């Protein structure tokens, strides 16, 4: 069966290849596993809570309507917890929409969000519908989000796919095509232009790359071989994060403690600025992850 639904999750199996699968937890509509021809592409902490008590540490958590902790008191998202409420709400499974490629949808509206939590966003006066479409292809996984403002008030939001990749050894990984991008380094609180031709990882890393042409593909290259391509639609920003030793020690749900060596977050989103959405309007953005291919250097787009 290409689509199996249990009480807590939905599992997609590629119709032509049973070793290509994706598992989605209804809690957070969090993708917890993507096996491509038997190979796990996503990192999931061994201590991740999968019972709805806490956002999942790993996979692809969804960030909405604010990225991080909103520091602007005048922003209606100010009282919300870090990364908002989409990752800690149980989404409704809407079913399969296409057979080839295999696509399913999940939906979230105010009625699925914990009441107390929802009230923290402008006293619960906004109305919205989120539709997440997940497509499992031969060698790709696409996640598309549509945000609709179904209320009578305009609102502003951030969106981000907080994707945790599984890597054999982070020190063997480089990521390309971020050269010349404007970047806010969250660790030092400074904005500068990325000058490195490729970024590599030997310590804690937490940068928000901003306003990057969506024709650019980020490639994760392991010892000279492309292991992942990250493409975006309508998502201008990308956060790159690795907590390294100290930060991961401080996270109770991060296991094994040496797991920072086996993960890298590349998180396409719309986070450098809030997106304004007028009453009745829709907005969408997507992340497309694919395996293999040649190294492609895209400098001057």
Beta bridge partners of 267: 239
| Least distance to ligand BG6, CB of residue 107, Å | 23
| Catalytic pick among 162, 222, 233, 270 | 162
The rounded distance, in Å, linking the Cα atoms of 101 and 216 is 24
Q: Which of 8, 19, 82, 200 binds ligand BG6 (CB under 6 A)?
A: 82
Site string for ligand BG6, 228-247 (x = CB under 6 A): -----------x-x------
d(Cα 144, Cα 132) in Å, to the nearest integer? 6
Could you give the CA distance from residue 297 to residue 171 in angstroms, rounded to a whole number? Answer: 21
Q: What CA–CA distances, in Å, run from 54 to 22, 58, 85, 93, 182? A: 21, 12, 11, 20, 33
Cβ neighbours of 289 (radius 10 Å): 26
Minimum CB separation of residue 53 from ligand BG6 in Å reads 14
- Residue closer to ligand BG6 by CB (options 65, 226) is 65
162 belongs to the binding site for ligand BG6 (CB under 6 A): yes
Query: What's the angle, vertex CA 62, arms to CA 92 and CA 69, rounded to 5?
Result: 125
Considering the candidates 249, 267, 273, 281, report the single residue annotated as catalytic. 267
185, 206, 222, 255: which one binds ligand BG6 (CB under 6 A): 206
Least Cβ distance, residue 87 to ligand BG6 (angstroms): 8
DSSP-assigned beta bridge partners for residue 22: 12, 34
Task: Report the residue number, 56 or 132, with the smaller CB distance to ligand BG6.
Answer: 56
Task: Mark whether 270 is an active-site residue.
Answer: no
What are the CA-CA distances from residue 47 to residues 74, 178, 255 (Å)? 36, 32, 5
Cα-Cα-Cα-Cα torsion 165, 166, 170, 175, nearest 10 degrees, comes to: -40
Least Cβ distance, residue 298 to ligand BG6 (angstroms): 24
Q: CA separation (Å) from 264 to 17, 163, 184, 213, 254?
A: 27, 8, 18, 22, 13
Nearer of residues 149 and 205 to ligand BG6, judged by Cβ: 205
**SS3 for 130?**
strand
Which CB atom, from 21 or from 83, has the smaller least distance to ligand BG6?
83
Binding residue for ligand BG6, selected from 21, 26, 83, 216, defined by CB under 6 A: 83
Count of residues that interact with ligand BG6, criterion CB under 6 A: 8
Active site residue 162: yes
Instruction: List all residues 6 or more positions away from 152 whose beta carbon is below 8 Å from its beta carbon.
Output: 127, 279
Task: Name the residue nearer to ligand BG6 (CB basis): 209 or 241.
Answer: 241
In the complex, the smallest distance separating the C-beta of residue 163 from ligand BG6, rounded to whole angstroms, is 10
Give 96 or 186: the residue with its C-beta nearer to ligand BG6.
186
Binding to ligand BG6, residues 1-60 (CB under 6 A): none
Q: Which residues ranging from 95 to 154 are in contact with ligand BG6 (CB under 6 A)?
A: none
Buried b (16+ CB within 10 A) or exposed e, 114-149: eeebbebbbeeebbbebbbbbbbbeebbbbbbbbbb
Smallest distance, ligand BG6 to C-beta of residue 90, A: 18
- Binding positions for ligand BG6, 251-270, rule CB under 6 A: 267
First CA to last CA distance, the chain? 43
Q: Which residues belong to the active site? A: 162, 267
Residues that bind ligand BG6 (CB under 6 A): 82-83, 162, 186, 206, 239, 241, 267
């Amino acid at each position: 069966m290409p689509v199996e639904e249990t009480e807590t999750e939905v599992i997609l199996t590629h119709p032509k290849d049973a070793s290509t699968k994706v598992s989605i937890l209804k809690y957070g509509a969090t993708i917890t596993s993507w096996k491509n021809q038997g190979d796990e592409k996503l990192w999931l902490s061994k201590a991740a809570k999968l019972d709805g008590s806490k956002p999942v540490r790993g996979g692809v958590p969804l960030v909405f309507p604010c990225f991080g902790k909103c520091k602007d008191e005048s922003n209606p998202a100010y009282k919300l917890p870090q990364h908002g409420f989409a990752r800690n709400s149980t989404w409704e499974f809407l079913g399969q929409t296409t057979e080839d490629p295999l696509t399913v949808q999940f939906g979230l509206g105010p009625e699925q969000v914990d009441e107390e939590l929802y009230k923290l966003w402008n006293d619960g006066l906004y109305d919205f519908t989120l539709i997440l479409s997940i497509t499992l292809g031969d060698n790709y996984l696409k996640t598309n989000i549509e945000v609709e403002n179904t209320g009578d008030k305009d609102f502003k939001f951030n969106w981000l796919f907080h994707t945790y990749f599984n890597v054999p050894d982070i020190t063997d990984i480089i990521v390309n095509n971020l050269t010349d991008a404007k970047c806010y380094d969250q660790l030092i609180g400074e904005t500068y232009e990325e000058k490195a031709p490729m970024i590599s990882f030997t310590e804690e890393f937490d940068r928000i790359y901003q306003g990057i042409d969506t024709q650019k593909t980020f490639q994760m290259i392991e010892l000279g071989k492309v292991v992942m391509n990250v493409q975006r639609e309508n998502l201008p920003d990308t956060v790159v994060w690795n907590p390294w030793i100290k930060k991961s020690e401080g996270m109770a749900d991060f296991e094994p403690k040496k797991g920072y060596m086996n993960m890298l977050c590349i998180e396409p989103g719309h986070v450098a600025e809030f997106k304004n959405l007028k009453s009745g309007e829709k907005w969408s953005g997507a992340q497309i992850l694919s395996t293999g291919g040649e190294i492609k250097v895209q400098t001057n787009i």
